[in-house]
């Protein structure tokens, strides 16, 4: 049900009295456990689920929907030592400023178009604004072959790499930007 609204940015509701279409430009943020018991892959507590149960659970989210989610992050258990540290991370103000700078770069890039951010790019704009040098093309070719990525995944990775480059205030996509974008693709389970 979410696949089409994510792609088309509209929701169409059909009833006996007629059909209505609403705008649906949204950002999907989702979370799920790795298995029904929640401990698959945990370093401290053993998973009680059978391999078949884990596979069945993980396949509840369809491949086409998973392909439309740009950033997949596994969040492991946090050790007490890390929780109790007094070390401060980056402040929200610093992060906010970096994001605003990246958004301004995107507004400038797309001035005079209907696009507002990298996520809105179509394949033609991806070819124009997400050019890769030879080392990046080599990395992307290897990733396409090893991860068996779809054309949609290819374009989504390039858009994400462009955003990572914008966050670094980099004019070009570098190998580090592309490698980071590739790390956010879903991993095939090794059950």
Q: What is the pLDDT of residues 108-135, one digit of tens each?
A: 999 999 999 999 999 999 999 999 999 9
Burial class (CB in 10 A: 0-12, 13-18, 19+), 121: buried
Residue 73 counted as domain residue: no
Q: Rounded to an integer, what distance in angstroms lies between the CA atom of residue 108 and that of residue 118?
A: 12
Q: Count other C-beta atoms under 10 Å from residue 178's C-beta.
A: 26
Say whether both 97 and 179 belong to one domain. Answer: yes
Say whether both 101 and 175 belong to one domain. Answer: yes
Say whether both 102 and 26 belong to one domain. Answer: no
For the chain, what is the domain count? 2
Q: What pLDDT, on a 0 to 100 scale, did the predictor assign at position 4?
A: 82
Q: Rounded to an integer, what distance in angstroms lies between the CA atom of residue 39 and that of residue 42?
A: 5
Q: What pLDDT, on a 0 to 100 scale, did the predictor assign at position 6?
A: 84
Q: Rounded to an integer, what distance in angstroms lies between the CA atom of residue 130 and that of residue 16?
A: 45
Q: Rounded to an integer, what distance in angstroms lies between the CA atom of residue 140 and that of residue 182?
A: 9
pTM beyond 0.75: the answer is yes
Say whether both 104 and 176 belong to one domain. Answer: yes
Residue 177 counted as domain residue: yes
Q: Rounded to an integer, what distance in angstroms lies between the CA atom of residue 156 and that of residue 184?
A: 11
How many angstroms separate the Cα of 119 from the Cα of each of 126, 153, 158? Answer: 10, 13, 10
Residues whose CB falls within 8 Å of the CB of residue 21, separated by 6 or more in sequence, listed in order? 10, 11, 12, 13
Say whether both 100 and 174 belong to one domain. Answer: yes
* Residue 162 contacts residue 173 (beta carbons within 8 Å): yes
Give the distance from CA 71 to its chain's centroid: 2
Residue 70 counted as domain residue: no
How high is the mean pLDDT of the chain? 91
Structure tokens given for 3: 């696949």
For residue range 3-56, what is the model confidence (pLDDT) as tens digits?
A: 888 888 899 989 999 999 999 888 889 999 999 999 999 989 999 999 999 999
Say whether both 101 and 171 belong to one domain. Answer: yes
Phi, psi of 20 (to 5 degrees): -125, 140
**Domain range holding 18?**
1-30
Residue 68 counted as domain residue: no
Say whether both 106 and 177 belong to one domain. Answer: yes
């Amino acid at each position: 049900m979410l696949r089409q609204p994510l792609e088309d940015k509209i929701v169409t509701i059909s009833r006996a009295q007629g059909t209505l279409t609403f705008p649906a430009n949204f950002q999907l943020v989702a979370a799920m456990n790795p298995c029904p018991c929640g401990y698959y892959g945990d370093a401290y507590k053993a998973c009680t689920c059978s391999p078949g149960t884990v596979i069945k659970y993980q396949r509840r989210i369809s491949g086409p929907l998973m392909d439309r989610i740009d950033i997949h992050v596994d969040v492991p258990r946090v050790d007490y030592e890390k929780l109790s540290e007094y070390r401060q991370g980056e402040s929200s103000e610093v992060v906010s400023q970096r994001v605003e700078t990246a958004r301004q770069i995107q507004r400038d890039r797309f001035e005079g178009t209907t696009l507002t951010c990298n996520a809105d790019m179509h394949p033609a704009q991806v070819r124009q604004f997400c050019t890769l040098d030879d080392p990046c093309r080599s990395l992307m070719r290897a990733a396409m072959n090893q991860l068996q990525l779809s054309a949609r995944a290819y374009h989504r990775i390039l858009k994400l790499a462009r955003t990572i480059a914008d966050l670094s205030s980099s004019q070009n996509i570098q190998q580090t930007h592309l490698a980071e974008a590739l790390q956010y693709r879903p991993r095939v389970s090794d059950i």
